[in-house]
Homo-oligomer: A and B are copies of this chain.
Amino acid sequence: MAHKWVYAFEEGNADMKNLLGGKGANLAEMTRIGIPVPPGFIVTTEACIAYQKEGQFPEGMWDQVLEYLDALGQKLGRKFADDADPLLVSVRSGARVSMPGMMDTILNLGLTPAGVQTMGEKFGDMRFAWDLYRRLVQMYSKVVLDVPGELFEEVIDDVRKELGVKTDAGITAEGWEKCAVEFKKLVQKHTGSPFPEDPLDQLKLGVEAVFKSWNGKRAVDYRNNFGIPHDWGTAVNVQTMVYGNFADGVSGTGVAFTRNPSTGEKKFYGEYLLNAQGEDVVSGSRTPSNVAHLADEIPPAWQDLMKVAETLEQHYREMQDIEFTIENGKLWMLQTRSGKRTAAAIVKIAVDMVDEGLITKEEAVARVKASDIDQLLHPRFDLDALAKTPVLAHGLNASPGAAVGKVYFDADTAEAKSKEGEDVILVRPLTEPDDVHGMLAAKGILTQEGGATSHAAVVARQLGKPCVAGCGDININLKQRLFTVDNVTVKEGDVISLNGAKGDVYLGEIPVVVPAFDEQTELQAILGWADDVRRLMVWANADDPEQATRARKYGAQGIGLCRTEHMFLGERTQLFQNYILAEDDAAKQAALDKMLPEQRSDFHGIFKAMDGLPVIIRLIDPPLHEFLPSREELMVDVALGKERNQDVSEQERLLHKATELAEYNPMLGLRGVRLGVMMPDVNKMQVRAIIEAACDAAKEGVDVHPEVMIPLTAHVNELKTLQKLLVDEAEAVMAEKGQRVDYKFGTMIEIPRAAITAGEVAELAEFFSYGTNDLTQMTFGISRDDAERHFLLQYVEDGILPVNPFQTIDRDGVGVLMEMGVREGRKTRPDLEVGICGEHGGDPDSIEFCHMIGLNYVSCSPFRVPIARLAAAHAVLRERGFQGVGDLGAKAPAK
């Protein structure tokens, strides 16, 4: 039996996305549940894959297409390529997951000049018929024959001028006919061949063009960027045309969301154009009306639309992004899919749907992505500053958020400047798929044209970038690289600020603030449910009482890392310098005596803030020379000072010490536990400060749980040497204070050897904390600061590394050591507390890995605590078999 390459809509359902593509499967599903869908059929993704392999349609495919086309005609009583009563179809791509703008569409296939007459007569509207035809020629020539789109727009412009009209609506039947004629001349001129008039040839080439577009540069780049496998292929949807561009007042086409995709409000939201075909809305070339007006303009269709929307939401249990056409008063659905939305909308809709009984709490948690939370907690403009700054221009609030940056007018420059470290705002008349790399690089996007569903708006929401779209107030001059608003001129490189939530554009930089976490009640609900699901605890890194307080507010269940050296930044650096430069024990002790109260007071504040929760305090880690001025600068100062006969004895003293302490590879030098072993007095002072503060707090009624963390252990003997001294000091302090507190000693696991010999290390360490920054540096043999500048980002861009291992844990390398460390450590000490305190502790993919290898907690920056709470829950849900959970949902199958 021949392989089945083609399915009628009636033959499919929503679960067949892999075979029929997302769009096709949903068209089939809608057909199945009785929603009005123009009939059609789908050429499968398998056919596309076979085509990519063989370079031609697979055997039997075209015959099946013709069969299904015939069946379609019979059902509708028409025939394809029949000039007397032509069956017109659209050809659309549709891959497994939505790839907006990546594939192309051809409408009105099947129409010939002869057919135009018939159509015109049948519908009683020659203008409509010629409009259909010119659309066919225009789209087909652009998509299949690669004639540049602007050329067609120029022809239409000329015709409008000729006719003296401003909009397409003013173009007459003759005008559209003329367009069609001129379009064909363009094709002849541009391709050297006449426009192919045979509808079957058109269909064949059209299907092939969709297949080819799967491996077009845009599509390949997109897939690379979003980790979509290249062997999925796309299906092709062939569907009977319905005509939204027929008979003004009773026809139209629209794009809508069943809820507000920007706020999440449960209110039908969208746009439509009367007398238009679908492409007119999404291209942004005409500014459409609010879909709510349909209720007045075509009330029966509006009522049908509301019913369909309700049915679809109940059926899919998700907000739907739909396309519809009203032909002569009748509603037809052309597409439905889960709608892209802002982070705020994702959270609100998820919570609302739980309230509505549509989904479970777990499903709600699964639907919110870590990046959504990131977006919700992202800095926003300072309201006072905002109030004082006049709005320069106003457009559509296409994607929320605050963005400040320098203006650039093309994607390449925006990308280049961003790589140089600039904050960039991409400003374009409209964006197209070719602009995506510039959008990725930009902090925000501003377009002059297009609506809330334009390419710019859709992609910006997807990327979580602030976007103001359709901002007609601005006039872009691409050649002069500037835009004007009345008499204000904004040149390339000038700074503007965008408020995506309101659609406002400001001149200059507006300061940003952090949004209030506790006011986001829907987010709180999601995180509360996430807390119920997750097994991993979430702790935070905090170096002072203020950070600890914030961390706790965000839900931190402990402090996983308090960096004591951060307490010696700024004006306190001098204290540490005094210690380093001390020439005898008395001077050293004097320096330590001054440091002690400073540290104790910090610790005391942190213990109070974390009343009842554990606080891990890491003993001093960096090499001592970091507390001295740069050796290079001292050398120059001394040389110049001598040349000028100045007294440079002080600089020479510093230089002498800096030289003594200098290291070729400071990251691998005298730091961490090595400092403690070689000069235990600093660590002893620190332990004294910790335990004194803990005892003081305990006396005040605070429930303290200090855990002292020794960094950079490579060999258990380092702990054997140092820990004993420090435990003695802790016990001595408690004896002095007449107060006992619970305390633990543990170590960071950040050196490969410590992970490998974790079984021995755990003989002394009561807890482990993975320092995955250093562990990654050493496991990869990469110095992060050097590498990102010199080769690492290039490696990631070239795909030599799948991800930047400093952002996401390298499971195959670093992860193997981590897993080994947990396993061996717990063999020695079954109740060993193991966590992570590197930057990876706030990365969702890494958090999932930490969950998988059985860590007790992740510790991240206070701002990322909510993200970590969610990601930890996602890890559980994925473990339980939930599909498409969070950020990793789309990526997961790619692995």
Chain A residues with CB under 8 Å of chain B are 631-632, 635-636, 639-640, 643-644, 663-670, 674, 677-678, 712, 714-715, 717-718, 720-721, 750-753, 756-757, 760, 774, 777-783, 785-787, 790-791, 794-795, 798-801, 810, 812-814, 816-817
Q: Judging by beta carbons under 8 Å apart, are B666 and A781 in contact?
A: no
Find chain B residues with CB under 8 A from A778 CB.
668, 752, 778-779, 781
Given contacts A635-B636, A717-B799, A800-B715, contact A790 B756 (CB under 8 A): no
In the complex, which of the residues B631, B663, B678, B777 contacts A794, with contact meaning CB atoms closer than 8 Å?
B678
In the complex, what distance in Å separates the CA atom of A667 from the CA atom of B668? 9
Q: Judging by beta carbons under 8 Å apart, are B774 and A752 in contact?
A: no
CB of A788 to closest CB in B, whole Å = 11
Q: Judging by beta carbons under 8 Å apart, are A666 and B664 in contact?
A: yes
In the complex, which of the residues B639, B678, B752, B782 contacts A639, with contact meaning CB atoms closer than 8 Å?
B639
CB of A452 to closest CB in B, whole Å = 41
Q: Judging by beta carbons under 8 Å apart, are B663 and A798 in contact?
A: no
Find chain B residues with CB under 8 A from A715 CB.
780, 800-801, 813
In the complex, what distance in Å separates the CA atom of A795 from the CA atom of B674? 9
CB of A390 to closest CB in B, whole Å = 44
Among A635, A664, A721, which residue has the most Cβ atoms of chain B within 10 A?
A: A664
In the complex, which of the residues B714, B757, B787, B810 contacts A669, with contact meaning CB atoms closer than 8 Å?
B787
In the complex, what distance in Å separates the CA atom of A680 from the CA atom of B195? 48
Find chain B residues with CB under 8 A from A677 CB.
791, 795, 800
In the complex, which of the residues B717, B795, B799, B801 contacts A800, with contact meaning CB atoms closer than 8 Å?
B717
Q: Judging by beta carbons under 8 Å apart, are B813 and A753 in contact?
A: yes
Find chain B residues with CB under 8 A from A814 CB.
753
Residue of B nearest to A753 (CB): B813
Q: Judging by beta carbons under 8 Å apart, are B779 and A756 in contact?
A: yes
Residue of B nearest to A662 (CB): B786
In the complex, which of the residues B632, B664, B670, B780 contacts A632, with contact meaning CB atoms closer than 8 Å?
B632
Q: How many copies does the complex hold?
A: 2
Q: Judging by beta carbons under 8 Å apart, are B752 and A817 in contact?
A: yes
Q: Judging by beta carbons under 8 Å apart, are B783 and A665 in contact?
A: yes
Among A639, A794, A801, which residue has the most Cβ atoms of chain B within 10 A?
A: A639
Given contacts A640-B639, A643-B643, A670-B790, contact A781 B753 (CB under 8 A): yes
22 A-B pairs with CB atoms under 8 Å apart are A632-B632, A635-B635, A639-B640, A643-B644, A664-B785, A669-B783, A670-B787, A670-B790, A674-B791, A678-B790, A678-B791, A712-B781, A714-B780, A717-B799, A750-B781, A751-B779, A751-B780, A752-B817, A753-B781, A756-B779, A757-B816, A778-B779
Q: Judging by beta carbons under 8 Å apart, are B783 and A753 in contact?
A: no
Residue of B nearest to A719 (CB): B800
In the complex, what distance in Å separates the CA atom of A410 from the CA atom of B816? 53
Residue of B nearest to A638 (CB): B636
Find chain B residues with CB under 8 A from A714 CB.
780-782, 813
In the complex, what distance in Å separates the CA atom of A666 from the CA atom of B753? 21
Q: Judging by beta carbons under 8 Å apart, are A774 and B781 in contact?
A: yes
Q: Judging by beta carbons under 8 Å apart, are B667 and A791 in contact?
A: no
Find chain B residues with CB under 8 A from A785 CB.
664-665
In the complex, which of the residues B640, B674, B782, B783 contacts A643, with contact meaning CB atoms closer than 8 Å?
B640
CB of A169 to closest CB in B, whole Å = 56
CB of A312 to closest CB in B, whole Å = 44
Q: Judging by beta carbons under 8 Å apart, are A817 and B756 in contact?
A: yes
Among A760, A777, A791, which residue has the most Cβ atoms of chain B within 10 A?
A: A791
In the complex, which of the residues B782, B786, B816 contacts A756, with contact meaning CB atoms closer than 8 Å?
B816
Residue of B nearest to A624 (CB): B790
In the complex, what distance in Å separates the CA atom of A644 from the CA atom of B668? 39
Find chain B residues with CB under 8 A from A720 CB.
800
Given contacts A664-B786, A790-B663, contact A780 B801 (CB under 8 A): no
Residue of B nearest to A721 (CB): B800
In the complex, what distance in Å separates the CA atom of A627 from the CA atom of B812? 35
Find chain B residues with CB under 8 A from A750 CB.
781
Find chain B residues with CB under 8 A from A812 CB.
756-757, 760
Q: Judging by beta carbons under 8 Å apart, are B752 and A783 in contact?
A: no
Find chain B residues with CB under 8 A from A668 CB.
665, 667-668, 777-778, 781-783, 786-787
CB of A750 to closest CB in B, whole Å = 7
Excluding A663-B790, A669-B786, A753-B810, 15 further A-B contacts by CB distance (< 8 Å) are A639-B640, A643-B644, A664-B667, A666-B786, A667-B783, A668-B783, A668-B786, A670-B786, A712-B781, A714-B782, A715-B813, A717-B799, A717-B800, A752-B752, A753-B779
Find chain B residues with CB under 8 A from A666 CB.
664-665, 783, 786
CB of A804 to closest CB in B, whole Å = 12
Find chain B residues with CB under 8 A from A721 CB.
798, 800
Find chain B residues with CB under 8 A from A816 CB.
756-757
CB of A665 to closest CB in B, whole Å = 4
CB of A660 to closest CB in B, whole Å = 9
Residue of B nearest to A718 (CB): B800
Find chain B residues with CB under 8 A from A640 CB.
639-640, 643
Find chain B residues with CB under 8 A from A787 CB.
668-670
Find chain B residues with CB under 8 A from A786 CB.
663-666, 668-670
In the complex, what distance in Å separates the CA atom of A668 from the CA atom of B639? 31
Find chain B residues with CB under 8 A from A795 CB.
677
Residue of B nearest to A782 (CB): B668
In the complex, what distance in Å separates the CA atom of A810 from the CA atom of B753? 10
Find chain B residues with CB under 8 A from A790 CB.
663, 669-670, 674, 678
Find chain B residues with CB under 8 A from A781 CB.
667-668, 712, 714, 750-753, 774, 778
In the complex, what distance in Å separates the CA atom of A790 from the CA atom of B778? 20
CB of A644 to closest CB in B, whole Å = 8
CB of A149 to closest CB in B, whole Å = 37
In the complex, what distance in Å separates the CA atom of A665 from the CA atom of B812? 24
Find chain B residues with CB under 8 A from A678 CB.
790-791, 794
CB of A656 to closest CB in B, whole Å = 15
Find chain B residues with CB under 8 A from A643 CB.
640, 643-644
Find chain B residues with CB under 8 A from A782 CB.
668, 714
CB of A626 to closest CB in B, whole Å = 11
In the complex, what distance in Å separates the CA atom of A801 from the CA atom of B715? 8
Find chain B residues with CB under 8 A from A664 CB.
665-667, 783, 785-786
The 5 closest A-B pairs by CB, nearest first: A665-B783, A668-B783, A751-B781, A753-B813, A663-B786
In the complex, what distance in Å separates the CA atom of A380 from the CA atom of B760? 46
Among A635, A752, A783, A790, which residue has the most Cβ atoms of chain B within 10 A?
A: A752
Q: Judging by beta carbons under 8 Å apart, are B813 and A663 in contact?
A: no
Find chain B residues with CB under 8 A from A753 CB.
779-781, 810, 813-814
In the complex, what distance in Å separates the CA atom of A760 from the CA atom of B810? 14
Find chain B residues with CB under 8 A from A799 CB.
717
In the complex, what distance in Å separates the CA atom of A785 from the CA atom of B670? 11
In the complex, what distance in Å separates the CA atom of A782 from the CA atom of B816? 21
In the complex, what distance in Å separates the CA atom of A712 from the CA atom of B717? 30
CB of A638 to closest CB in B, whole Å = 9
Among A635, A790, A810, A812, which residue has the most Cβ atoms of chain B within 10 A?
A: A790
Residue of B nearest to A643 (CB): B643
Find chain B residues with CB under 8 A from A712 CB.
781
Among A631, A774, A778, which residue has the most Cβ atoms of chain B within 10 A?
A: A778
Q: Judging by beta carbons under 8 Å apart, are A670 and B779 in contact?
A: no
Find chain B residues with CB under 8 A from A632 CB.
631-632, 635
CB of A849 to closest CB in B, whole Å = 15
